[in-house]
Chains A and B, each alone.
Chain A
Amino acid sequence: MKVPLRFKSIRQRLVVLLLLAAALLSLLLFISVRAIASASVQASQDSILGAATIAIAEELRGGEEGVAIEIPYAAFSMLGSSGEDRIFYRILVGEDTVTGYGDLPMPVAELTGLEPVFYSRDYQGDPIRLAAVGRSVLVEGTPRRVQVIVGQTRTGQEMIISRMSNRAAALGMGFFFLSAVLALLTAQAVVGPVNSLAEAVGRRGPQDLRAVTRPVPEELAPLVSALNGLMARLTAALSRTETFIAEAAHHIRTPLATLRTHAEIAQRISEEQEVLARLREILRAADDSSRSAGQLLDHATVAYRTDQRAEEDLDLRAVMADVMRAAEPTAELKDLHFELSVPDGPVPIHADRLLLESAVRNLVDNAIKYSDGDDAIELRLTVDGGTATLAILDRGRGLGTMQGRDLTRRFARGSNVSDVVGSGLGLTIVREVARALSGSFRIENREGKGACAILSLPLA
C-alpha cells in the first residue's frame, strides 16, 4: 500500500493510520447502528399502523344497505400514542371513497389478502407512512371490494430515530476514543523494541563495538545484522589504525634508542664543554621524543586493549609499588622522593594490568615532570566502600588557570607548561583507562601548591 503522507516517525505513522481506521470503523458503526435503529423503529411503527388498518378493515360489514363502517376507537388512539403524529384515513368501497380523506394517496401495489401494504408518500406537506388493506364484503349478496388506507406523519418516528442516532453517535465517539487509546498503546508496543534496541546501543561506551546479541523481533533482525556488520568493519579499521600507530611508535623509538646510545658514547669520549652541553640537549630531546612515542603507543594500546578484555585479579597496592619503583631513577635525577601510603590489607581489583599500569605511570610521570625538585610526591591509596581511590599529589607548578577536565582532552596541554616537552596524551590515557575500568578520574589544583590527580576504581 502506498501512503501518500510522509511521516518522520513510524509511531506517528502507525498512530495516524490506526486512528484513521478507528474513525472509519466508528463512522461505520454509527451508520449501521442508526440504520438498524431506523429500520426497527420503522418496523415497529409499521406494525402498529398495520394493526390499526387491519382492525378497521375487519370491522367493515356487508349488509343489505351497503357497507357498514365501524372504526374502533383504539385504532386511532393507538396511532396517536406518541402524541406527535397527525393521522389520515380513507375507506373505499369499489372505486368510491366513502369516508375519510378523499385525496389520500393510494398504494401502487395490488392489495391481496389481509396483509397490509406499506408505502411512504408526501401528504399535506408532510412525509407520511401509509398502510393499506383490501378485502371483500358481501353487499346485497354480491361481493364488493373495500380498501382501508391509514396514514400517519412521521414526527414521532423521527424523534425516536434522532434520539437513537444521538445514542449511536455517542457510541461511535466512545468507540473512537477507546480505539484511539488502543492505537497509542499499540504504536507504543510496536515501536518499543526499536526504542529499546536504540537505547541499548546508545548506552554503550564509545569503545564498545561488540556485536548486538540481544533478541530482537524478526523485523529488526536485518537492521541488527547490518549494524553488527558495520561494527565489525569499524573494529577492523580501528585495530588496523592502532596497529599502525603502535608500529609507528616502535619505529620511532628504536632509532631514538640508537641515537641515545651514540650520544652517550660521544659524551664519554668528548672533553669539550661546548660539545658536552650539546650532547646533553640531544639526550634530553631523544628522551622526550621517546616518551611521547611511548605515550602514543600507550594510547593506541589503551584503545585496543579495552576491547580485548584481558582482565585479571590484581592487588592495586602492588601495581602502585611497581610503577613507583620504575619511576624512582627519573625522580632521583630531580631530587624528588615518593611517599607511598597504602592500606594494610590487599586492595583487590579486576582489571587489565597493562592498562592500569599505563594510567598510574602517566600520573606519576606528570607529577615528576611538573615538580620543581627537592619535593615529595605522595601516592595515597584508600578504600571506601566498594571503591579504591588512588591520589597522586605533588608540590609542583599546578594546573594554573586551566580546568582539569579540559586537560584530559586529547593533545590538550596546559598554558603554563610550554617549557616542558609533552604530547598532551597522558591524561587522555588515564581518562580512557578509568572509563574502561568503570571508574572515574579527575585532576585539580592542590591546596597551597601543586596538583592532585585522583583515580577512583571499583573493587573486584
Chain B
Amino acid sequence: MRHLVIAIGLSLWAGLAAAFEIEEERLFEAQSDGPVVSILSTTDTVVFEPVIAAFQARNPEVSVHYTVSSTRQVYQAIAEDAARFDLVVSSAMDLQMKLANDGLARAHGSQEVEALPDWAVWREHLFAFSQEPVVLLLRRDAFGNRPLPQDRSGLIEIMRDRPALFEGRIGTYDPARSGAGYLFATQDARQSDSFWRLAEVMGSLSPRLYASTGAMIRDLESGDIVAAYNVLGSYVAGGLSIGDAGAVVELRDFTHVLLRTALVPASADQPELGGRFLDFLLSEAGQTALDRDARLPRIDGRALTTNPHQRPIRLDTGLLVFIDPLMRDRFLQEWAAAVTRP
C-alpha cells in the first residue's frame, strides 16, 4: 500500500477537536517529511480516500489529516470555535455560504479558480468542485408493470392511487436533523408549489424520516421502503446492491444539483496548504480523481445543458435566507405540519 493510513491517537488532535463532534479522523502520512494539511469535511473518508491518494501522488511530501463531521458540526467548528483547519469541504452549500458571507473564508485566487465556470464560484471565497444530482430512488418491483413516475405530479398521483403500497414505506430526510435534507426541502419549496402537495401526500402515508443517507438506502435495499425521495445521487453512483429491482430517477420537472464546496477558512494556520489542496481539487487531475475514483461528478457545464431538467442550486446569497433561524423555525414548523400527522 502506497500510503500508510493510520488511525490517529486522539491525544494529538484532542485540543483541536474538543469543541465539536468528530465522526472519523485519519492521518494519511506522506512518504517524506513535510507539512500536514488538515481538512475538515462532511464527505466520508472512504469516498475521499482516492482523491487524497491522487493529491499525495503529486505532493508526496504533504501529509493529509482528514477529519469528518456532520454539516452542522463543520459549520459550528469554523463559525463558533474558529477551528484551525486549512480547508473546509462540505455538501451544505447554505452553511458554507453563510461562512463565506460572514467573512470567515479567505479569498483564494489561482489559475484553477480562474477556469471555474461563474456558477461554481462565489467571490473567490467559495468554490464548487463537484455537482451531484438529487434523485428519487424507487423499488421497481413494487410498481409491478406500472410505469415509474418521472416527475413530482406523477409521484403524487401514484401515491394517491395506491396508498396501500406506500403506507409507511416512503423515506425522505428529516430536515430538522439532516442539513442536506433541509437544503433540499427548502430548495424544493422555493422551486415549486407542488412540493407542499407532495409533502402533504407523503405525510398522509406515514413516511419514514432519516437523518442519514446510508440508512435510507439500506432500508430501500432491504425492501423496508419502496421510495426514497431527495437522495444525493452520488451515494448510489455505483448502483444499488439490489440491481434491477432498484431505480434511480432524476425527476423531469426539475432535479436539483448540489454543489459540493470548499473554502479556506480565515482561521487557517496554513492557508497556502489549504489553497494547494483546493487547487488540486479543481485541477484536471483532481477532477478526474473525484469523478472516476470518488464518484463525485466533476464540475461540467455541458452536463447541465444536455440534462435541461438539472438545476444547480445557485451558489449565491439567496442561500442565506433559510439559514436565518426564524426562517428555519418557520419552515420546519410548516414542514412538520404538512408531513407529520397529528
Number of A residues contacting the other chain (C-beta, 8 Å)? 26
Which residue of chain B has the shortest Cβ distance to A98 in the bound complex? B326
> Knowing A86-B101, A86-B103 touch, does A80 contact B317 (C-beta < 8 A)?
yes
**Complex contact A68–B318 (CB within 8 A):** no
> Knowing A83-B123, A155-B123 touch, does A69 contact B326 (C-beta < 8 A)?
yes
Complex partner residue of A71 from B101, B314, B324, CB under 8 angstroms: B324
Interface residues of B in 188-237 (CB under 8 A from A): 190
What sequence of 0s and 1s flags, for each residue 95-136 of chain B, a beta carbon within 8 Å of any chain A beta carbon? 000001111000000000000001001110000000000000
**Complex contact B326–A77 (CB within 8 A):** no
* Residues of A with C-beta under 8 A to B316: 76-77, 80-81, 83
Shortest beta-carbon contacts, A-B, top 3? A77-B318, A80-B317, A80-B316
**Complex contact B324–A124 (CB within 8 A):** no
Residues of A at the B interface (CB closer than 8 Å) are: 68-77, 79-81, 83-88, 98-100, 124-126, 155
* Residues of A with C-beta under 8 A to B103: 86, 124-126
**Complex contact A86–B317 (CB within 8 A):** yes
**B interface, size bucket:** 20 to 34
**Complex contact B317–A79 (CB within 8 A):** yes
Instruction: For residue A102, give the distance in angstroms from its CB to the closest CB of chain B.
Output: 12
13 residue pairs A–B, Cβ–Cβ below 8 Å: A72-B321, A74-B318, A75-B321, A76-B317, A77-B318, A80-B316, A83-B118, A83-B121, A85-B317, A86-B123, A99-B325, A99-B327, A124-B103
Which residue of chain B has the shortest Cβ distance to A123 in the bound complex? B103
> Knowing A99-B324, A99-B326 touch, does A84 contact B317 (C-beta < 8 A)?
no
Q: What is the CA–CA distance of A331 and B167 in the complex, to the nearest angstrom?
A: 154
Which of A72, A84, A86, A98 gathers the greatest number of chain B CB atoms within 10 Å? Answer: A86
Q: What is the CA–CA distance of A84 and B320 in the complex, to the nearest angstrom?
A: 15
Complex partner residue of A100 from B121, B123, B324, CB under 8 angstroms: B324
Which residue of chain A has the shortest Cβ distance to B97 in the bound complex? A80
Interface residues of B in 291-335 (CB under 8 A from A): 314, 316-322, 324-327, 330
Q: What is the CA–CA distance of A384 and B187 in the complex, to the nearest angstrom?
A: 106
Which residue of chain A has the shortest Cβ distance to B119 in the bound complex? A83
* Beyond A83-B316, A87-B101, A126-B103, 6 extra complex contacts between A and B, CB < 8 Å: A70-B327, A76-B319, A76-B321, A83-B122, A86-B103, A124-B102
* Residues of A with C-beta under 8 A to B190: 73
**Complex contact B327–A77 (CB within 8 A):** no
* Residues of B with C-beta under 8 A to A99: 324-327
Q: What is the CA–CA distance of A352 and B317 in the complex, to the nearest angstrom?
A: 103
**Complex contact A76–B320 (CB within 8 A):** yes
Instruction: For residue B136, give the distance in angstroms from its CB to the closest CB of chain A.
Output: 23
* Residues of A with C-beta under 8 A to B320: 76, 87
Instruction: For residue A172, give the distance in angstroms from its CB to the closest CB of chain B.
Output: 30
Q: What is the CA–CA distance of A80 and B98 in the complex, to the nearest angstrom?
A: 13
* Residues of B with C-beta under 8 A to A125: 103
Count contacts between A and B, CB distance < 8 Å. 62
* Residues of B with C-beta under 8 A to A84: 123
Which residue of chain B has the shortest Cβ distance to A67 in the bound complex? B326
Which residue of chain B has the shortest Cβ distance to A91 in the bound complex? B326
Which of B100, B103, B320, B322 gathers the greatest number of chain A CB atoms within 10 Å? Answer: B320
Q: What is the CA–CA distance of A116 and B300 in the complex, to the nearest angstrom?
A: 41
Q: What is the CA–CA distance of A234 and B327 in the complex, to the nearest angstrom?
A: 104
**Complex contact B318–A80 (CB within 8 A):** yes
Q: What is the CA–CA distance of A75 and B190 in the complex, to the nearest angstrom?
A: 12
Instruction: For residue A50, give the distance in angstroms from its CB to the closest CB of chain B.
Output: 17
Instruction: For residue A319, give the distance in angstroms from its CB to the closest CB of chain B.
Output: 96
Instruction: For residue B84, give the distance in angstroms from its CB to the closest CB of chain A.
Output: 20
Q: What is the CA–CA distance of A84 and B316 in the complex, to the nearest angstrom?
A: 9
* Residues of A with C-beta under 8 A to B319: 76
What sequence of 0s and 1s flags, for each residue 6-27 of chain B, a beta carbon within 8 Å of any chain A beta carbon? 0000000000000000000000
Instruction: For residue A160, give the distance in angstroms from its CB to the closest CB of chain B.
Output: 15
Q: What is the CA–CA distance of A84 and B103 in the complex, to the nearest angstrom?
A: 13
Instruction: For residue A192, give the distance in angstroms from its CB to the closest CB of chain B.
Output: 56
* Residues of A with C-beta under 8 A to B326: 69, 98-99
Complex partner residue of B327 from A69, A74, A88, A126, CB under 8 angstroms: A69
> Knowing A86-B101, A155-B123 touch, does A71 contact B321 (C-beta < 8 A)?
yes
**Complex contact A76–B318 (CB within 8 A):** yes
* Residues of B with C-beta under 8 A to A100: 324
Q: What is the CA–CA distance of A141 and B228 in the complex, to the nearest angstrom?
A: 45
Q: What is the CA–CA distance of A413 and B276 in the complex, to the nearest angstrom?
A: 99
> Knowing A73-B321, A100-B324, A155-B123 touch, does A68 contact B330 (C-beta < 8 A)?
yes
Q: What is the CA–CA distance of A99 and B321 in the complex, to the nearest angstrom?
A: 11
Which residue of chain A has the shortest Cβ distance to B319 in the bound complex? A76
**Complex contact B330–A70 (CB within 8 A):** yes
Instruction: For residue B97, give the distance in angstroms from its CB to the closest CB of chain A.
Output: 9
**Complex contact A69–B317 (CB within 8 A):** no
Q: What is the CA–CA distance of A75 and B319 in the complex, to the nearest angstrom?
A: 11
Which residue of chain A has the shortest Cβ distance to B124 in the bound complex? A84
Q: What is the CA–CA distance of A84 and B314 in the complex, to the nearest angstrom?
A: 14
* Residues of B with C-beta under 8 A to A76: 316-321
Which of B118, B121, B318 gathers the greatest number of chain A CB atoms within 10 Å? Answer: B318
**Complex contact B327–A71 (CB within 8 A):** yes
Which of A73, A126, A155 gathers the greatest number of chain B CB atoms within 10 Å? Answer: A73
Which residue of chain A has the shortest Cβ distance to B322 in the bound complex? A73
Q: What is the CA–CA distance of A74 and B324 in the complex, to the nearest angstrom?
A: 15
Which residue of chain B has the shortest Cβ distance to A77 in the bound complex? B318
Instruction: For residue A87, give the distance in angstroms from its CB to the closest CB of chain B.
Output: 5
> Knowing A83-B123, A86-B103, A124-B103 touch, does A77 contact B314 (C-beta < 8 A)?
yes
* Residues of A with C-beta under 8 A to B123: 83-86, 155
* Residues of B with C-beta under 8 A to A124: 102-103
Instruction: For residue B79, give the distance in angstroms from its CB to the closest CB of chain A.
Output: 13
Instruction: For residue A2, give the distance in angstroms from its CB to the closest CB of chain B.
Output: 54
* Residues of A with C-beta under 8 A to B121: 83
Instruction: For residue A109, give the distance in angstroms from its CB to the closest CB of chain B.
Output: 26
Q: What is the CA–CA distance of A85 and B103 in the complex, to the nearest angstrom?
A: 11
Instruction: For residue A410, give the distance in angstroms from its CB to the closest CB of chain B.
Output: 86
Instruction: For residue A228, give the distance in angstroms from its CB to the closest CB of chain B.
Output: 76
Q: What is the CA–CA distance of A88 and B100 in the complex, to the nearest angstrom?
A: 12
Q: What is the CA–CA distance of A88 and B330 in the complex, to the nearest angstrom?
A: 20
Q: What is the CA–CA distance of A8 and B82 in the complex, to the nearest angstrom?
A: 72
Q: What is the CA–CA distance of A88 and B102 in the complex, to the nearest angstrom?
A: 8
* Residues of A with C-beta under 8 A to B101: 86-88
Complex partner residue of B318 from A73, A85, A155, CB under 8 angstroms: A73
Instruction: For residue A293, give the distance in angstroms from its CB to the closest CB of chain B.
Output: 101
* Residues of B with C-beta under 8 A to A73: 190, 318, 321-322
Instruction: For residue A182, give the distance in angstroms from its CB to the closest CB of chain B.
Output: 43
* Residues of A with C-beta under 8 A to B322: 73
* Residues of B with C-beta under 8 A to A77: 314, 316-318
Q: What is the CA–CA distance of A87 and B318 in the complex, to the nearest angstrom?
A: 10
